[in-house]
Amino acid sequence: MSVPDSVSASSPASPFQRLTVVGFGLIGGSLVRAIRAAQLPVEIVVYDASPSVRARVRELGLADTVAETLEAAVEGSDCVVLCTPVGTFGLIAEVMAPHLKPGAIVSDVGSTKAFAIDAIAPHLPEGVHLVPAHPVAGTENSGPDAGFATLFKGRWCIVTPPEGADEAAVERVRALWTAVGSNVELMDPPHHDRVLAVTSHIPHLIAYTIVGTASDLEQVTESEVIKFSAGGFRDFTRIAASDPTMWRDVFLSNREAVLEILQRFNEDLTALQRAIRWGDGDTLFNLFSRTRHIRRTIIDAGQDTARPDFGRETATPSGAAEE
């Protein structure tokens, strides 16, 4: 096993001796960087379908091996983590399945878990364990240079084992994410998908929609949208800049939960429209007070910063809101 020179006898134990990361974008690249930063004594193999990405991984020197094929990448690995869009999971599982060693663990980082299980599980041979996971962390950036070692520190990783999953395999996946700084929680896959529809998928859908609406309004030129972007719209554009392939697959793979929550959102939006139309200030004030409390709760939980303007380096000294 190849181990970085910086790893000492006091380095933490690793749940795996050989780990394969398939897909070297924001999450895959951050996972490899975080493992290196934690000095886990594990051999890291990376595969990406893009030759240019593979070349960049070699330049970065973060992997022990950069494989030229998926089949070669997974052979002999204790754990294979899929860090590609969820729409690719089925084909990847089909191709790599015959090359997985007995007892290997297959995991992923996708945002929809019931779909991931349905796509991967049918292809895995007996004796190979499936333990999906979802690190709830990210940025709008993508590509092999987007990752950073502290992405998962203090953030939640939700592990969603299917029914009957091997307990020892689940514990090893939990140990991996704990080692890179995540708080880990186990959750039923369908419940995960419903929770993430509320906390991640619908917010992204709203961001894509409002930014698209702004660009379509004929009476507002593109230059005006950019010139007069206040903090709220600016934050929407940050979210709407996320990887389009990944988010296309997220919405298609979690459509039932997304549509369920979207229907509830539409009902709440209609009630808000009614309050504005009839000048119902009490309803507006009560809603805004409740949502403000949720923001403060998120900060208290350590899941965001209370620094002015969300900690932007360009924030004004006073931290005054722009809206």
Give the DSSP per-residue string, 232-294. Answer: HHHHHHHHHTS-HHHHHHHHHHTHHHHHHHHHHHHHHHHHHHHHHHTT-HHHHHHHHHHHHHH
Average pLDDT over residues 228-242: 77
* pLDDT band, residue 131 (cuts 50/70/90): very high
Give pLDDT, residue 239.
81
Asked if residue 111 lies in contact with residue 250, where contact means CB atoms within 8 angstroms, the answer is: yes
Average pLDDT estimate for 180-202: 93
> Cβ–Cβ contacts within 10 Å for residue 145, how many?
15
Q: Mean pLDDT score of the chain, rounded to an integer?
A: 86
pLDDT of 235: 80
Is the predicted pLDDT of residue 2 greater than 50, yes or no?
no
Domains, the chain: 18-187 (3.40.50.720), 191-279 (1.10.3660.10)
Query: 139: Cβ–Cβ under 8 A, 6 or more apart, which residues?
Result: 26, 146, 151
Q: Which pLDDT value is given to residue 124?
A: 97
Span 96-103, mean pLDDT? 97
- Write out pLDDT tens, residues 311-320: 545 433 333 3
Q: Each residue of 16-44: pLDDT tens digit?
A: 999 999 999 999 999 999 999 999 999 99
Write the pLDDT tens digit of every residue in 253-307: 888 988 998 999 999 999 999 999 999 999 989 988 888 887 788 777 776 666 6
- Can you give the pTM of this predicted structure? 0.80
Mean pLDDT along residues 120-148: 93
> CA angle, corner 141, sides to 137 and 145, nearest 5?
100
User: H-type helices in 38-184, by residue range?
Assistant: 51-60, 70-74, 89-96, 113-120, 167-179
> Residue 4: which pLDDT band, with cuts at 50, 70 and 90?
very low
